[in-house]
Every structure is written in C-alpha cells, then in structure tokens.
Amino acid sequence: MPTFEFTSPEGKTYTVEGPQGSSQAQAWDILQGQLAAPQTETPPERPPEAPMTVGGTYKAFDRGVAEAAANLVGLPRTLGEAGGQAMNWLSRQTGLPEVYDPNIPSQAPTTEQARQAIQQQYYGGAAPYEPQNTLERYAQAVGQTAPNALLPGGAITRAANVILPATAAQTTAELGGGPLAQAAAGLAGGIGAGKLGQIAEHAATMQASTMPTLAKLEEEKNAIYQVVDNAGATMPIAKADFDQFASQLKSSANAKQVRPANAAGVYEEINKLPQNGGDVADLLNLRAGLRSLGGRDGVQAQKVLPQVEAEIESYLPGTIKQLDTADANYNKLSTASMLDRVIAKQEIRAAKTGNLGDKLRDAAGKIVENENQMRFLSPEEQQMVRDLSQGTHSQKAMKWISDQMGGWITRFLGSGAVLGIAHYSGHDEALAPIVGTFLGKGVVKAAYNRSIAGQARQVQQQVIANSPYARSIGATVPPPLPSIGGAFTPGVLPATERLQEGQ
C-alpha cells in the first residue's frame, strides 16, 4: 500500500497509508477525515493502591493535622483579603472609591508560608507524606478537620464535627468533584454533624436524666391521693367527735380573726362536714377545700389549716407528709401542663407567620401578670418566666437585626462571606449578593425563634424537674434541642396532638 507524508503549516508531519492504487489527493482526503473525527483518549488506568497499614494511616492523618494548623495560621490573612475584596465589590456597586489595595503586603503569614514553616520545623523540610490508598486519603481528610473538635458541644458533637465534614468532602473528591464541590460537601457535612451530634446528645441526656413525662407525673400524683383516700375511708369518726372538732375549729378561727364576715368561704367549707358522723376522708375533703380557696379566703384559710391537718394526723400519722408530696406533684403538673399548652398553641399560631419567638415572649408576659399562674412557681421558676418574657441581650440583638435592619446588614455580611469564597475559587462574583440575601434575614430570624423556643421549653422542664417525684428519681433538666428545626418540634408529640390530649 502506498504511503504519503504531509506537513502542516505548524511543522507537524502526518503519515497516511492509502489503499492500493490511491493517489496523493485521495490520501489527503483520508487525512482530513481522520483529523475531523473526534479524538478519544483512553483514560489511564488507576495504579493499584498500596496495602493499608497503621503506620501509613497515621502519617496521612498527621499530614492532615499539619495542613489544618497551616490553614488556621493563614486564616487571618485569608479573611482579611476576602473582606477587602468584599469591600471593594460593594464600593464598585455603590460608586464609591475602593478602599482595599491588594498590592500592599500584609504582615500576617499566608497559609503556604505557614505550611512551609511547619514542614521545616517538624519534618526537617522533608516533602509531605502522600497518602497511598483510599483509607489514608480519608485519614488525611479527618486530620484536616481535627480543629473542629474545639467547637462547642459534647463528645458526640465534637466527634461528628470532625468525621462527617471530612467524610463528605473526601467522598466528593473520590467521585471526581472539584475543590468547590468538596468545600460545599464539607460545609453540608458540618451542618449535618452539628445537628445530628446535638440531637444524639439531647437524646442521650434525655435518657440519662429519666425526666418524667406529664402523664407519668400525673400517675404518681394520683397514686398517692388514692392511697390516702382509701385509708381515710376506712377510718370512721363518731358524730360526737365530729361535732366537737367543728366547734373547736370555729372557735379557734374566731380567735384568729377568721370570721364569716371576712372569710365566708372558710366557713362554707367547714359547714360541709357531715352532721351524723363520717370518716377521715371527710377531713381530707375539708383540707382540700380550704387549700383551693383563693384571694382573701385563701389567706384566712391558711390560719386554720394547721388545726385540720393535726386532726388528720391524730387518726392517720404520716398522712400529711404524703399529701404534701402529692400536692407538690399536682402543682408542678398543673403548671407544666399550662406551659406545655401555651407553647403548643403558639407553635400552631406561628406556623405560618414564623413569629414563634415573639409569640412565646408575649405569652410569658401574660403569665407573669397572672397571679394565679405564678403562685405555684418557685422563685427560681418565676424568674425564668420573667427572663423569657424580657429576652436576653443576644435575643434582642437577633430580633433587631432581623426586624429593623434585616435587609441591608444581613445582605452585607452574607455577601462578604460568599464573595470571599467566590474570589478564591475563581467563580462568578455575582453569586455574592444572591446567596448573601438568602443567608441573611431568614437565618437570623430562625435563630431567634429557636433561642426563645428552647428557653420556653427549659422553663417547662425545670418545673417538672422541681417536682418531688422527679427529684426522687434523680431527674435533671435536659438541654433544649439545639437545632433551628428543633424550635418547631420541641415535644415528643406535634403541637396539635398535645393540645387535643389536653396535656
């Protein structure tokens, strides 16, 4: 077969073998067809990976930690340059002169300078260790996120903050994702780590604390009352003894300035005692009736209650201590149930408006103004409700940012952060105002709602924890679910179900 050679204007030589009897012109056509055809290259085969060893895995992890240290040292320089670029971008948008000159050298070291210094100081200037297999590459990624262990949280959250972002970023790299995709995966992993880790710690704390539910607290309260009532019903009192006790009680009340003119409710309860004899259960009913009185009658009832309780103790020693425990459980149950209904109601009302924080603070303010609702709270619990109604300094700051300046300040902060990422990744800087707006007001408002909701749930849980039954089993108040989504799901049951059950 004839062979023809052609030289391109760039000096490149092509050799073409034509069919038998072909001319130079036909060979040229063959060459043109070959050049026009899409060129496919067989990707190089991935070399076999080295066997996995403990030593290699440690070296890879160690390299990751060194890179993390270099990144931390160079972070101020990186943030400063990113912030300067952000300020210049904003200046260009508003027609103002640029204030940041990237040509003026910074005194802070760059990440590369820090990396070289660490390599020289701790590794004698040797080249960094190159991971030899998939496990070592993941170990290096974990080392790079090791500083995340310094973030707030318990052991579970700290471990998740290190492992999940590293795993997400390295998995993206193994699948061929670029640096920006890896950063996005790491960020998503970090968000997931915080949420999952905190939820796990919340669940673990809940289990460890054995915090009783409202239903369990009611069960324990009813059990004590039932035992006392059964005992009282089996202890009869003769008519003469009843008449003598009622007469002595009225005489004692009169001597203490507790009289029908200023304590009609007290005498109404005393007159409910049976006229033809009865049992200790009737004395228990008298005690319950006197304790239920409010206002002026309630104040006067406190003067005669000790005499009634002494009479009950004379028949059934130890009963008053049992009743005090049951009453305390009842008071805490009533208050906790009231708070639970308030929280559930405000969650439903805020589902569409997103104003959960404001509604809960308003509801807390109404509780503070309600004497009947506040009287069964301990001084500590009363202060917690007042604090909830007033809000903390940080909560007020978040509300101010969201409500008053949510437009420009959050777009400014969000845009600056995204602009730095866009600048150093080589992507379009137009992403900054778009993503910055998205990250702005909504996140701040959600954080505000979350903070108030967690605080409200803490008050309710503290009330339960202060009940005698909760103290008897060593229950402690679990931390509020620390995720933004947790603000809208703070209970085991949805708000609508809790309201329907009347808890």
Query: What pLDDT is stored for residue 482 in this prediction?
Result: 41
Query: What pLDDT is stored for residue 309 in this prediction?
Result: 93
Put residue 318 in one of left, alpha, beta given phi > 0 → left and psi -120 to 50 → alpha: left
Mean pLDDT of 120-127: 78
pLDDT at 421 over 80: no
222 three-state secondary structure:
helix
437/38 Cα distance (integer angstroms): 44
Query: What pLDDT is stored for residue 166 in this prediction?
Result: 63
User: What are the respective helix, strand and coil percentages of the chain, to the nearest 5?
Assistant: 70, 5, 25
72/226 Cα distance (integer angstroms): 65
Query: What pLDDT is stored for residue 248 in this prediction?
Result: 92
Mean pLDDT of 132-143: 84
114/74 Cα distance (integer angstroms): 7
Query: What pLDDT is stored for residue 473 in this prediction?
Result: 81
pLDDT at 306 over 90: yes
Give the lowest-confidence range in 6-15, 294-303, 399-408, 453-462.
399-408
pLDDT single digits (tens) 142-189: 777 766 655 555 555 556 555 656 666 667 666 666 655 555 555 555
> Contact 474/208 with Cβ under 8 angstroms?
no
Count CA atoms within 13 Å of residue 456 on its CB side: 36
229/215 Cα distance (integer angstroms): 21
Instruction: Considering only the C-alpha atoms of the chain, give the largest distance between any 2 of them, rounded to a whole number of Å.
Output: 142
Domain definitions of the chain by residue range: 3-30, 54-208, 236-315, 331-501
> Contact 60/143 with Cβ under 8 angstroms?
yes
Query: What pLDDT is stored for residue 375 in this prediction?
Result: 77
- Residue 499's pLDDT band, with cuts at 50, 70 and 90, is very low
pLDDT single digits (tens) 386-395: 998 888 777 7
- Residue 252's pLDDT band, with cuts at 50, 70 and 90, is very high
439/42 Cα distance (integer angstroms): 44
Query: What pLDDT is stored for residue 42 in this prediction?
Result: 57
Give the lowest-confidence range in 70-79, 275-284, 286-295.
70-79
Kindly give the residue spans of alpha helices, DSSP state H, lying in 175-294: 179-209, 214-233, 239-255, 264-270, 280-291
> Contact 165/190 with Cβ under 8 angstroms?
yes
302 three-state secondary structure:
helix
Query: What pLDDT is stored for residue 301 in this prediction?
Result: 92
Query: What pLDDT is stored for residue 304 in this prediction?
Result: 92
Angle at 455 between CA 450 and CA 460, to 5 degrees: 125
DSSP state for residue 43 in the 8-state scheme: P
pLDDT at 478 over 70: no
pLDDT at 422 over 80: no
Query: What pLDDT is stored for residue 442 in this prediction?
Result: 54
Check the CA dihedral 375-378-379-382 and report its sign.
Answer: negative
Check the CA dihedral 120-125-127-130 and report its sign.
Answer: negative
- Residue 407's pLDDT band, with cuts at 50, 70 and 90, is very low
Q: Which two tokens stand for residue 345?
A: 């109601």
What single-letter amino acid sits at 141? A
Query: What pLDDT is stored for residue 414 in this prediction?
Result: 47
- Residue 455's pLDDT band, with cuts at 50, 70 and 90, is confident
Higher pLDDT, 258 or 82: 258
- Residue 256's pLDDT band, with cuts at 50, 70 and 90, is very high
Give the lowest-confidence range in 18-22, 124-128, 272-276, 358-362.
18-22
Query: What pLDDT is stored for residue 206 in this prediction?
Result: 47
> Contact 34/79 with Cβ under 8 angstroms?
no
Average pLDDT over the chain reads: 73
